Amino acid sequence: MRMVVAYIRRVFKILRAEVLVLPSRVAVLVFIAAVLALPLVTQDYYILRIMILTSIFAILAASWDLLSGFTGQMNFGHALFFGVAAYVTALLNLRLGLPPYFSIPLGAMGAVLAGLIIGIPCLRLKGSYLALTTLAFPIILMGLVFAFPGITGGELGLSGLKKLTGSRVADYYVTNVLMLVLGGIMWKITDSNTGIILHAIREDEVAARAAGINTTRYKLLAFCLSGFFAGIAGGLYAHFMRLAGPSTLEVGLSFQVIIWSVFGGMVSIYGPIAGVFILNPFMEVLRIFLDNFPSLPEMRMFIFAALVLLTLRFMPEGLIPWLRDKVESECPRCKVRNVFFRRSCRICNAEMT
């Protein structure tokens, strides 16, 4: 009992000293609590469905940021990882009868293999050449899907997969807890020595190579890690929707991921997650609202585009970094972030300017 009390005190001490001192960390804590508490407030099937899909797409967007945001390897075909994992998961479930907790990780490994297949020929490409090359891969795979309908189901895809769990609430907790855990893992990767190396490759690959960094190995690692996390999202999507079809490979999905990430804020992991959780429910609410006015033309995509353009115009680094810079400031001496109204740094007591 004493150990439990000591552990609880330690947790509260960490919360008070490390979390509650910065608005951004408090916001993350509130977000996690809200996500976990939503089914206690409502168990409406439609709301839970929207939030389940939002959490799946949040994993996908964060995985894109891990590759393109941190490493600078601009990927316009990120839907490839999502689609490959969805099809591999579906085939393993339908043909071999594997349950979701086996088929989803194996589908993610299929996406890792796809990351290797893409990464190796793309290692020497940069900029627009790399972006256009990665854009071609999901288009090629979609052609193969239509060419072998006996295996892939053709235009109809593969349907009839086992449900993710037995209930909608359980689906919600599985997807959202995985989103929080995988998001934390991706953030931790970018905050480690590996993340520093990925930053260095993005800023100046020649200088990184001159410093003795094997940039080829780390770029391949970025492709594989990004593919794995996107593959988890693809497997979750396939089992939740009970379908793996050509829509999982569409070019539009790749660009949607980029929009979510740029809107929320690249090179942060939490920015793309926040972008998905803002834009995806917003679009659903907007659709319901506009359905009440059938005389109006289709304005949903116009409003969506205007919102994104205004954000990019006035917040070029993304919404979340812009908000964070408004409520926090960086110490000029030790580079630790402090709440904006502090006159001295909470770590080194240097004067805040």
Higher pLDDT, residue 333 or 4: 333
DSSP 94: H
Q: Residues 210-240: pLDDT tens digits?
A: 999 999 999 999 999 999 999 999 999 999 9
Q: State the pLDDT confidence band at 296, using cuts at 50, 70 and 90.
A: low
Q: Which of 17-21, 133-137, 241-245, 343-347 has the lowest mean pLDDT?
A: 17-21
**Is residue 162, in this structure, part of any structural domain at all?**
yes
At 286, is the secondary structure helix, strand, or coil? helix
String of DSSP letters for 12-69:
HHHIIIIITTSHHHHHHHHHHHHHHHHHHH---HHHHHHHHHHHHHHHHHHHHIIIII
Residue 250 has phi, psi (to 5 degrees) of: -65, 145
Q: Residues 43-81: pLDDT tens digits?
A: 999 999 999 999 999 999 999 999 999 998 889 999 999
Q: Residues 172-193: pLDDT tens digits?
A: 999 999 999 999 999 999 999 9
Q: Residues 12-46: pLDDT tens digits?
A: 887 887 888 889 999 999 999 999 999 999 999 99
Same domain, 49 and 10: no
String of DSSP letters for 146-188:
HH-HHHH-GGG-EE-PPPSSSSHHHHHHHHHHHHHHHHHHHHH
Q: Which of 224, 250, 276 lies at the terminal end of a domain, its last residue?
A: 250
Which residues span the domain enclosing 4? 1-41
- Contact in structure between 275 and 261 (CB atoms under 8 Å): yes
pTM exceeding 0.85: yes
Question: CB count, 10 Å around CB of 154?
Answer: 15
Q: Which of 250, 276, 295 lies at the terminal end of a domain, its last residue?
A: 250
> Residue 105 pLDDT more than 80?
yes
Task: Tell me the C-alpha distance between 282 and 285, whole Å.
Answer: 5
- Contact in structure between 77 and 135 (CB atoms under 8 Å): yes
**Which residue type sits at 69?**
G
What is the separation of C-alpha 39 from the centre of its chain, rounded to a whole number of angstroms?
A: 22
Q: Residues 116-171: pLDDT tens digits?
A: 888 888 877 888 888 889 999 999 999 999 999 999 999 999 999 999 998 999 99
**Which residue type sits at 284?**
E
- Contact in structure between 70 and 267 (CB atoms under 8 Å): yes
**Is residue 17, in this structure, part of any structural domain at all?**
yes
What pLDDT, on the 0 to 100 scale, is given for residue 347? Answer: 85
Rounded to 10 degrees, what is the CA torsion of 318, 36, 177, 5?
110
Q: Which of 232, 250, 268 lies at the terminal end of a domain, its last residue?
A: 250
Question: CB count, 10 Å around CB of 345?
Answer: 20
Same domain, 79 and 200: yes
Task: Tell me the C-alpha distance between 255 and 326, whole Å.
Answer: 29
Residue 81 has phi, psi (to 5 degrees) of: -60, -45
> Residue 266 pLDDT more than 90?
yes
**Is residue 266, in this structure, part of any structural domain at all?**
no
Same domain, 28 and 99: no
- Contact in structure between 220 and 123 (CB atoms under 8 Å): yes
What pLDDT, on the 0 to 100 scale, is given for residue 297? Answer: 63
Same domain, 113 and 230: yes
Task: Tell me the C-alpha distance between 304 and 260, whole Å.
Answer: 11
Same domain, 15 and 115: no
Same domain, 27 and 63: no
Of the candidates 248, 245, 238, the one whose C-alpha atom is nearest the C-alpha of residue 92 is: 238
**Is residue 285, in this structure, part of any structural domain at all?**
no
What domain count does the chain have? 2
